[in-house]
Amino acid sequence: MNHSDPQPDASGNVLCDQFDAIYFDLDGVLYRGLNEVEGAVETVKEISQRGCGVAYVTNNASRTPDEVAAHLVELGIPAKPSQVVTSSQVAVEILQKHVPVGERVFVVGGVGVEEALRDAGYVPSRDSRDCVAVVQGFGPEVSWRDLAQASYLIQGGAIWIATNLDSTFPTASGIAPGNGSLVEAVRNAVGRDPDGVGGKPDRAMMDRTMAAVPGERPLLVGDRYDTDIAGGIAAGIPTMLVLSGVTQATDVWRSNLRADYLCESVQGLVLTYREASVNDEDYVCGGARATFAAVNMCVRARGGTRMERLRAADSLKWSMVNQVGLEAFTEGQIILDLGVS
Ligand SMILES: [Mg+2]
């Protein structure tokens, strides 16, 4: 199975040269669990050598920026804590609009939540007594007891901030429940939504990232439409979706959002990017051609690499949206046929 894109062309033009700052999501983009996504280390190194700013933007609230940077360095990816933005930091920024610093705040989640609260001047607590707010983030140790204590506090009037709402995230063993699933458990108990949510797609997350690693031509790279791509769109930043994490080609087809670039993985940043272009009523990309067959309500893409077929099909989809409506795709009336993968 060969999913690789073409190599850099003779002129040496590669995708990342169009940008001066790259904002990477982490889980499913640079690593899955403890393992590097193939080629991620070399790619980030090469991007940095080409003079591009690099930031790491994670909705995973369980770890501190120091721990995230240390994990990246361990994998071989150059990273400083100042390049890392976590949803815990942004959740605590939002908390400050509701609760004065110095108050006691109940922590659900890992040490990342705790440290962000302490850095801002709150008193983080693992005991719910005398707490006026709850900050809920992911942590592998989160228990039913934590969720129950949080629910009791919220029912008693406490402010409730969630670090992020990702329903799942990829691990080395498969797809696991994310913080959004645990927030949903509390929501079922308390009958209302959180008072604020920190991570992508919230604009505050991208604002903090742009302040940490400024760029005039930034690009956001992520593996999820509902957080990464939606976050980039909310902040007016171009986006690149990679298929190395939770999103599959069929999800691209059914998405109601459009990523500016589609790649198998971050390695696409240091390769030539072939755009799809219109050709009669079809779209072509490299050696691929995507055609709509009305008789069986199917877009069929053939030739080229899998990614060229997907880019051609995605461009054809978005060119058809005005005529047939987005629901024709999101609800599956028009299907995608990419041929053999
Ligand atoms: Mg991700």
25 a catalytic residue: yes
List of residues 6+ apart from 84 with CB closer than 8 A: 55, 56, 58, 65, 68, 69
- Cα of 25 vs centre of ligand 1, distance in Å, is 5
SS3 letters for 67-92?
HHHHHHHHHCCCCCHHHEEEHHHHHH
Looking at residue 8, its pLDDT comes to 55
- Cα of 340 vs centre of ligand 1, distance in Å, is 26
- Cα of 341 vs centre of ligand 1, distance in Å, is 23
Q: Give the C-alpha separation, 266 to 50, whole Å.
A: 15
Evaluate whether 219 touches 22 at the Cβ level (below 8 Å). Answer: yes
Evaluate whether 115 touches 67 at the Cβ level (below 8 Å). Answer: no
- Cα of 105 vs centre of ligand 1, distance in Å, is 27
Q: Give the C-alpha separation, 253 to 72, whole Å.
A: 32
pLDDT by position in tens, the chain (length 341):
444 445 555 566 899 999 999 999 999 999 987 889 999 999 999 999 999 999 999 998 889 999 999 999 999 999 999 999 999 999 999 999 999 999 999 999 999 999 999 999 999 999 999 999 999 999 999 999 999 999 999 999 999 999 999 888 878 788 899 999 999 999 999 999 999 999 999 999 999 999 999 999 999 999 999 999 999 999 999 999 999 998 999 999 999 999 999 999 999 999 999 999 999 999 999 999 999 999 999 999 999 999 999 999 999 999 999 999 999 999 999 999 999 75
- Cα of 218 vs centre of ligand 1, distance in Å, is 18
- Cα of 122 vs centre of ligand 1, distance in Å, is 29
Evaluate whether 242 touches 265 at the Cβ level (below 8 Å). Answer: yes
- Cα of 168 vs centre of ligand 1, distance in Å, is 9
Q: Give the C-alpha separation, 254 to 304, whole Å.
A: 22
User: Which domains does the chain show, CATH number per domain?
Assistant: 15-59+201-270 (3.40.50.1000), 88-197 (3.40.50.1000), 277-337 (no CATH)
Looking at residue 7, its pLDDT comes to 57
- Cα of 228 vs centre of ligand 1, distance in Å, is 7
- Cα of 223 vs centre of ligand 1, distance in Å, is 5
φ, ψ of residue 220 to 5 degrees: the values are -100, 130
- Cα of 131 vs centre of ligand 1, distance in Å, is 31
- Cα of 92 vs centre of ligand 1, distance in Å, is 21
Considering only CA atoms, give the Rg of the chain: 21
Which tokens belong to 119?
């850095």
- Of 5, 17, 25, 127, the catalytic one is 25
- Of 5, 9, 20, 27, the catalytic one is 27
Looking at residue 235, its pLDDT comes to 95
Evaluate whether 135 touches 161 at the Cβ level (below 8 Å). Answer: yes
Amino acid at 138: F
Evaluate whether 19 touches 33 at the Cβ level (below 8 Å). Answer: no
Which tokens belong to 37?
């996504």
Q: The tokens 């979706």 sit on which residue? A: 241
Q: Return the half-sphere exposure (C-beta side, CA atoms, 13 A cut-off) of residue 299.
A: 29
Q: Give the C-alpha separation, 109 to 141, whole Å.
A: 7
